[in-house]
Amino acid sequence: MSKRNYNVFFNTHTVSGIVISFALYIIFFAGAFALFKDEIKIWEEGKSVNHINRKDVNFDQLFEKLDKDFDLIGRDLEIGLGKNEDELYVYLLPSQDTTASERSKQPQFFSLNIQTEERKQYHEYYGIGEFLYRLHFFHQIPTIGIYLAGFVAIFFLFAIVTGVIVHWKKIITNFYHFNPKNALKRVWSEAHTALGIIGLPFQFIFAVTGAYFCLSILVLLPANFLYNGDQQKLIENIRPERKTYAWVEKIDTELPSFNSFIKESDSFWNDFQFSNAYIRNYRGSNMKYILQGELNDKDRFVGVGRIVFDYENGKINAVKNPEKLNYVEDIQGVLTRLHFGNFGGVIVKIIYFILALITCFVILSGVLLWIESRNKKSMTIQQRLFTANVGHIYLAICLSMLPVTAISFLFSKIFHGYFQNKQSFIYYFYFLSWLIFIIYFRYKRDNYKINKQSLLIGGLVGLLIPIVNGVVSNQWIWKSIENGQSDMLTIDILWLCIGITSLVVYTKVSEKVKEQSAFSKYPIDYKNVNNLEESIHKNLIIKDKNHIPMRTKIIMLWVILVIGFIIHHVYGIADVYFKESLLIEGSNGEIPGWAHQWRIQLEGVAFLFAVLTIQLSKNWFKWVSLVWAILVGLFNIYHFITALIYEITNVSEILVLATMAIANIFLIKELFTWKPYTK
């Protein structure tokens, strides 16, 4: 390979890796725990699980109860049967029967306990396992989160390919000559290469499958042309179990037994495990019962089967034989198994978990290698400060996930059942704790201390988790073994291992490692850096005749945001010219509390920052201003994107939102350069 081509691939690998590094770290760290989502849910509830075989569930009785409460006539039912827990997950679609009650036209989604028939809404049974699973693909960012995760996966695939090309000649030598006692830059380089090669197949699989699942809308776009834009037919071919049927008429005769349907279906294939049940057009003349599942993964890696009972002809048909592969259907089954590791039992999940954490280390080692390489005496103070700041921020975001996740497990366990809307409380607790840790670690400005303290806190809290589980739920490790509660035991042992490993690594990382760092050899004098920056800044001012003082810029940009918010909030006045009423039905002239909250948070706080900037220049104020500007910026960008998606014809509003987003970006830039690194 020529030197030019090598430099192109090297720079491409470095840039693509740095750009996605912290997002990729979040994906893999959260994804490692998401592998045990079902086990975490059982551990969190702290109740013994009976592991009831789904074939022994009295579905007829459950459907009768649901029919009384929700009026199932004309509805489609979709039921996730689960595996280990005692809950089913029921989704009731709106009724297609035009004569049905209003109650039957409301969709419903809830969990249903097999034994007690207790129902819980999504926000009630939401737990830390579900949160980490959703965080794994940025679901907490509305609308665009999953697409961001998909593009990160694509860039990750790009970084993998360019990384193999760049490190090809050094792969074997770095793998066998890895020595943690070498110079720090060489340690990071060898560790990055060696561990990257160990997890290469795993990382490649996750990059491909992650991009497929998160960007399926782009994957299916070419297929849509083959079906001449008939998306309904496309979905029916890819996911036949989701096919719907037009409503014909209601039947008054007794319904065929769903329990009998399951027993007859059980005779089709040996060791066939049902995963989903569907009922189409409940109590309709063309009603259908559908069961879908797979063969045991010990017998076949992927073997999706489907059995249908058609009420019109009274026959049961095996419409998809799991022993015969269908490319269109089974390829998704292969990708699902590879991505979620739901084959081979808990052993495969543990292997996936370890490989995911190794990938996290590869990501961090790449960032640290980049930081070490760029901290040279020959570079300007601005370049060195930028590199140092990027390193501090990246490590603060990534390494704080260990203690925050451990503490969140304790929070979810101790306060389980205390909150009705558990989803909101987990959101607030996790993200606020994470933000506090990020700010704290960022102010440390010491990568060595960030690493040590995150390992210490994460290790100590990790060891507390099995103890708290025993105290709160009386599910001590030895009792879980005696009672065969393998799910709870898995989580307790997992955190016990994480805690011990973290503390062992904590004791092994010594001051000698810090002394090898380039920042120890060529330290940045933060106390005197202000004077140097001020002299450079003054020289730039002299050369720039159109220079506007930084503080004036910041005040002006805050005021622009205030004006933008006011314009957007009163924009509905323009409707007067189009003969549209400004009154909302049920309005009584009183402004609700939530409206005041939004105006205070957006207009009021922005105006407050503009006023305070005139007088305050303390470092804490600069940081508070920067953090709030970033949060408001994310809101403005999200608002602009949703307007493009849902209100593309409202050109005037889009123009206002675009202007606000640009002003917000400029504001963040100015605040970021307003000497936030000073002590």
Beta strands in 314-462 (DSSP E): 315-320
pLDDT of residue 188: 63
Q: What is the tens place of the pLDDT at every residue in 388-402? A: 888 888 889 999 999
The dihedral over CA atoms of 376, 382, 386, 388, expressed in degrees to the nearest 10, equals 50
Mean pLDDT: which of 163-172, 239-248, 554-563 is highest?
A: 239-248
Q: What is the tens place of the pLDDT at every residue in 138-150? A: 988 877 888 889 8
Beta strands in 420-565 (DSSP E): none
pLDDT of residue 675: 58
Which helix (H) or strand (E) segment holds residue 89: the answer is strand 87-92
Instruction: Judge residue 460's burial from the number of C-beta atoms within 10 Å of its C-beta, 0-12 exposed, 13-18 middle, 19 or more buried.
Output: middle
Domain positions in the chain: 1-374, 528-579+593-672
Q: How far apart are CA 75 and CA 95, in angstroms?
A: 4
pLDDT of residue 582: 43
pLDDT of residue 175: 59
Contact 76, 287 (CB under 8 A): no
pLDDT of residue 342: 82
Q: How far apart are CA 320 and CA 293, in angstroms?
A: 10
Across 306-325, average pLDDT: 84
DSSP-based three-state secondary structure for 80: strand
Q: What is the tens place of the pLDDT at every residue in 206-263? A: 888 988 888 877 766 666 666 676 667 777 777 777 788 888 888 888 888 998 888 8
Sheet holding 108-113, edge to edge: 119-121, 108-113, 87-92, 77-80, 272-280, 288-295, 304-310, 315-320
The dihedral over CA atoms of 213, 218, 222, 228, expressed in degrees to the nearest 10, equals 100
Residues in the chain: 679
SS (H, E, C) 35-67: CCHHHHHHHHHCCCCCCCCHHHCCHHHHHHHHH
What is the 8-class DSSP label of residue 276?
Answer: E
Q: How far apart are CA 239 and CA 103, in angstroms?
A: 29
Q: What is the tens place of the pLDDT at every residue in 24-68? A: 999 999 999 999 998 999 899 888 787 788 888 889 999 999 999
In 109-143, which positions are buried (b, 16+ CB within 10 angstroms) versus exposed (e)? ebbbebeeeebeeeeebbbbbbbbbbbbbbeeeee
In 278-311, which positions are buried (b, 16+ CB within 10 angstroms) versus exposed (e)? bbbbbbbeebbbbbbbbbebeeeebbbbbbbbbb
